[in-house]
Structure 1
Amino acid sequence: MLRSSLVLLVLAFTASANAKDFDYDYFQLTYGNVEFDDINVDGDGFGLSGSYALNEDFHVFAGYEAAGLDFGIDATTLGAGLGWHTTLSPVVDLVASISYQYVELDAPGFGSVDDNGLGLGLGLRYAATDLLELDAGISHVDLGDGGSDTGFGVGGLYSFTDAFELGLSASWSDESTSFTVAGRFYFGR
């Protein structure tokens, strides 16, 4: 039960979208809340992530999240990978990613378990206006011993300045639901 929660935790805190002109050079701070329905455990935590465009088609990304769950359980996730993006229209980008994922859970009285594996993602970014971006996507995580899970997510980012956006996102999988607030800071603008 604890190991299958590793997959869900990675899916629950997966980051979302971007903004006008679909800039892939940013870092962001997040606060998220996750609820695991089948095991009646929930919690919240903070994260730090970033992305850097290698060229017009590819970007690298990495992220770290730390969450405190019910019953004193501490969860840590790390991920890093390569993303590909292409323009479908002047206001829509298709984004695909592959990543390495690492998850660790530390439960009082039970010790610590960790696992690692592969993450895949596919999504759309839509510039609804010059100030508002919406996104939707599907992600799949396959951890070695922890199993695999597929999740769906939606989100939005509102641009307050050229370099700062505030975002909200939600994601769902078979066993969890999460909500995240993000502050995104662009560099090089």
Structure 2
Amino acid sequence: MKDHTFTKRTAPLAAALFLFAGAHTQAAPNSAVSYDYAGVEYVEQDLDDYDCNQDGLSAYGSMTINGPWFAVAEVTDVSGNKGCGSSTLAAGGGYHTPLNSQWDLYGTLSVERTDPDNGSSDTGLVAAAGARGWLLQRLEGKAELAHHTAFDDTTSLNLGANYWFVPSLAATLDTSFSDEGNAIEVGARLNF
């Protein structure tokens, strides 16, 4: 049975992340999309190297610091078959610049720590670069390459879409593909 100690420890952190993001309401100037948001997603992962299928929840957020600079954070807790499962905490910062009136280019650098339910923990960096913008009036898209140095170095292609019911609430769909496996996430996001 999975030990939920990490979830109990990180629930207050996730709540603080949502409150912190909610306290900041200033939009970044000249940005095609918002960098002030918080979200929750259901995560389904298949890890080929470990013959592992796992699922769980992820809470994440972003907040403008100053102009084009922003902070990011994410907490993920998953469990699965054959003793699979892990808890991951990541935090860092990024910079964005307009590509045109509808799209932004951005880059982020984060520190990521993963604690597997079985096995040794590891900490590493995540460097990511991508583009976010509007595919249709209410449909936002994202394409990103991210390199993770924890455990065995790996690079993933991350694709996502957000459908905005109203300017502050969206349904989200994210996918990730790497040499270690793939993931799909569905959830909701709030802009502040």
The alignment's TM-score, normalised by the length of structure 1, stands at 0.82
Q: Is the 8 A contact 2:177 2:183 kept in 1?
A: yes
For residues 90 and 21 of structure 1, the distance between their equivalents in structure 2, rounded to whole angstroms, comes to 6
Q: How many residues align?
A: 162
Of structures 1 and 2, the one scoring higher in RCO (CA 8 A, sep 6+) is 1
Matched position secondary structure for 2:153: strand
Matched position secondary structure for 1:71: helix
Question: Is 1:164 the counterpart of 2:169 in the alignment?
Answer: yes
Map 1:21-170 onto structure 2 (within 5 A): 21-107=32-118, 112-143=119-150, 146-170=151-175
In the TM superposition, residue 129 of structure 1 has moved relative to its aligned partner by 2.2
Runs of 4+ in 1 over 3 A off after TM superposition: none
For residues 146 and 85 of structure 2, the distance between their equivalents in structure 1, rounded to whole angstroms, comes to 23
The alignment's TM-score, normalised by the length of structure 2, stands at 0.81
Higher strand share: 1
Matched position secondary structure for 1:24: coil
Q: Is the 8 A contact 1:69 1:75 kept in 2?
A: no
For residues 61 and 178 of structure 1, the distance between their equivalents in structure 2, rounded to whole angstroms, comes to 20
Matched position secondary structure for 1:130: coil
Q: Is the 8 A contact 2:44 2:54 kept in 1?
A: yes
Q: Is the 8 A contact 1:103 1:116 kept in 2?
A: yes
Q: Is the 8 A contact 1:126 1:134 kept in 2?
A: yes
Matched position secondary structure for 2:67: coil
What RMSD in Å do the two structures reach over aligned CA positions?
Answer: 1.3
